[in-house]
Amino acid sequence: MFHTRFTSKGQVTVPQKFRRRMKLTGRRSVIVDQLPDGAVVIRPAKSILYLAGSVPARRPILTVEEERKAIHNAIAERHKVKDARK
**Per-residue pLDDT at 84:** 64
3-state secondary structure of 9: coil
Total Cβ atoms within 10 A of residue 19: 15
The structural domains of the chain, with segments of one domain joined by +, span: 59-85
Quick: pLDDT tens for 30-62: 888 999 999 988 888 887 776 777 777 777 778
Q: Is the dihedral of CA 73, 75, 78, 83 positive or negative?
A: negative
Quick: pLDDT tens for 16-26: 888 888 888 87
Total Cβ atoms within 10 A of residue 50: 9
Q: Residue 85 pLDDT more than 80?
A: no
| pTM, to two decimals | 0.45
